[in-house]
Amino acid sequence: MPSIVKPSATHPSLQRNALGMTIRDYEGSMSTLCAGCGHDSVTAAIVRALWEISAKPHMIAKMSGIGCSSKTPAYFVNGAHGFNSAHGRMPPIATGANAANRELTYIGISGDGDSLSIGLGHLCHAIRRNVRMTYIIENNGVYGLTKGQFSASADVGSKSKRGEANRMAPIDPVELGLSIGATFLARSFSGDKEQLVPILKAAIAHRGFALVDVISPCVTFNDHAGSTKSYLHTRQHQIKATETDFVPAATEVLAHIEQEGVTSVTMHDGSVVRFTATPKGYDPTDRRAVVTYLHERESEGEIVTGLLYLDETVGDVHEMNQTPETALARVPYEKLCPGAAELDRMQAEFR
């Protein structure tokens, strides 16, 4: 644990976002995770993403369960709401919170243990319900908090710190999501913020359940030779299926993107974004093609990253259930609970 809190001193060129806030305003308490933990980099990416989109801290809800990963909500946006649930129970709690107040931005942080072992069932149903939230799995393949046993995401053949190899098949959250109707699936690496930050911004903007699987090496128990979730292994085997960037919704700009080469598009604020067509043979909206592609690449031992699958045709949990536009939390109590007399009247209808 660091000896001091992060000094209040800042760089003289520190910039402010649309809310007049600096990136430092989106920070939280000092991390007590191991030095070099990938999770701290994910935290830094979240801080940057939230600052860049000028998120209002009081409109953010940080949700988590149990584990190293689940400690991290304490390390960003001190001014946000938060709920630290029982192990694996963050998805239903987040679902409930979202049902009650659809106006907040939900950021769930979980790990491979919390999401793929004890909480797997809950995760599946949150995906199916398309609860609007960003769900980050800080995936390191081990139970770091209990000294590095293999988790449910450890690859077959990956070696533990003591040398024995894992034999059980891993659960891949992206493939799982594809099979149960997920609408936003991405994978990234804690050591690659240039990719992770835009993915997080897109996930926050997504109108549904956005699952971001982040390879986040456990520097203490799973960063050795033979591990398939180490910094070095991930760097050597990462391939980017898509180059991802996020442009916030604004007035429509129409452009024709050439199939070959780079197309420069001038945005409404004068900046220029350069587009290339997605790689041939990869269409992130074609579920069957994505499944095939992932299987192919993963059989080669490659780690496919980027925004991998997107479906914007499915409504979120509120649309499916036809809830009112107004957040239930803001509906007057008398309206939410019409009283015993009204209940009696309703029940009488069924007699």
Partner 1 sequence: MTLPSERTHASRPKSPRIIYNKTRLVTIDTGIPQEARPLKPTDVQDPNYYHKVVDCQWGCPAHTNVPEYIRMIAQGRFTDAYMLNRESNVFPAILGRTCDRPCEPACRRGRLDGKPVAICRLKRVAADHRGEIADRLPAIPRKKNGKRIACVGAGPASLTIANDLLPLGYEVVMYEKLEQPGGLMRSNIPSFRLPQSVLDDEVGTILNMGVDIRYGSPVDSMRALLRENFDAVFVGTGAPRGKNLDITGRYETDRIHIGIDWLESVAFGHIEHIGERVLIIGVGNTAMDCCRTSRRLGGTDIKVMARRPRGFFKASAWELDDAEEEGIEILINFAPKRFVVEGGVLKGMEFDRLEWDEGAKNSRVVETVFLPADDVILAIGQENAFPWIERDLGIEFGKWDMPVVSEQTFQSTLPHVFFGGDAAFGPKNIIWAVEHGHQAAISIHNHCTGISVSERLPHRMNLITQKMGISEWSYHNDYNPAARQKMQHTDLVERFRKLNVEVELGFSAEQTAREVQRCLNCDVETQFTAGLCIECDACIDICPVQCLTIARNGDEADLRGRLSAPAINLEQELYVSAELPQTKRIMAKDEDVCVHCGLCAERCPTAAWDMQKFELFISYAGSPACDSLLTVA
Q: Among residues 31 and 85, whose Cβ is nearest to partner 1?
A: 31
CA distance to 1, 39, 82, 115, 303, per residue, from 24 (Å): 20, 18, 19, 30, 32
| Distance in Å, CB of 14 to partner 1, minimum | 7
The DSSP 8-state label assigned to residue 207 in this structure reads S
Query: Which listed residue (143, 209, 221, 231) binds partner 1 by CB under 8 A?
Result: 231
Query: Which listed residue (163, 167, 225, 254) binds partner 1 by CB under 8 A?
Result: 254
| Distance in Å, CB of 168 to partner 1, minimum | 28
Query: Which listed residue (25, 246, 289, 315) binds partner 1 by CB under 8 A?
Result: 246
Report the site for partner 1 in 259-298 (rule: CB under 8 A).
262, 265, 267, 269-279, 284
Report the site for partner 1 in 12-41 (rule: CB under 8 A).
12-18, 24, 34-38, 40-41
Tell me phi and psi for residue 214, to 5 degrees. Answer: -110, 115
Query: Which listed residue (112, 138, 172, 223) binds partner 1 by CB under 8 A?
Result: 223
Query: Which listed residue (8, 259, 299, 347) binds partner 1 by CB under 8 A?
Result: 8
Q: Rule CB under 8 A: say whether 340 interacts with partner 1.
A: no
Close Cβ partners of 317 (under 8 Å, ≥ 6 residues apart)? 95, 98, 99, 129, 130, 131, 132
Where does residue 187 fall: left (phi above 0), alpha (psi -120 to 50 degrees), or beta otherwise?
Answer: beta
What is the C-alpha to C-alpha distance for residues 270 and 261, in angstroms, rounded to an integer? 22
Q: Rule CB under 8 A: say whether 11 interacts with partner 1.
A: yes
CA distance to 92, 124, 291, 308, 319, per residue, from 178 (Å): 20, 11, 7, 10, 21
With CB under 8 A, what is the number of residues at the site for partner 1? 75
| Distance in Å, CB of 331 to partner 1, minimum | 30
Q: Rule CB under 8 A: say whether 253 interacts with partner 1.
A: yes
Q: Rule CB under 8 A: say whether 174 interacts with partner 1.
A: no
Decide: residue 27, CB within 10 A, 0-12 exposed, 13-18 middle, 19+ buried.
Answer: middle
Report the site for partner 1 in 48-87 (rule: CB under 8 A).
52, 54
**3-state DSSP assignment of residue 103:** coil
Return the ∠ at Cα 142 (arms to 137 and 144), rounded to 5°. 95
Query: Which listed residue (176, 191, 225, 292) binds partner 1 by CB under 8 A?
Result: 191
Query: Which listed residue (55, 107, 202, 304) binds partner 1 by CB under 8 A?
Result: 202
Decide: residue 263, CB within 10 A, 0-12 exposed, 13-18 middle, 19+ buried.
Answer: middle
Query: Which listed residue (108, 170, 198, 208) binds partner 1 by CB under 8 A?
Result: 198
| Distance in Å, CB of 148 to partner 1, minimum | 15
Close Cβ partners of 338 (under 8 Å, ≥ 6 residues apart)? none
Query: Which listed residue (7, 163, 332, 339) binds partner 1 by CB under 8 A?
Result: 7
Q: Among residues 52 and 316, whose Cβ is nearest to partner 1?
A: 52
* Best CA proximity match to 148, nearest among 251, 229, 52, 207: 229
Report the site for partner 1 in 118-147 (rule: CB under 8 A).
none
| Distance in Å, CB of 263 to partner 1, minimum | 9
CA distance to 48, 57, 89, 334, per residue, from 81 (Å): 18, 8, 17, 26
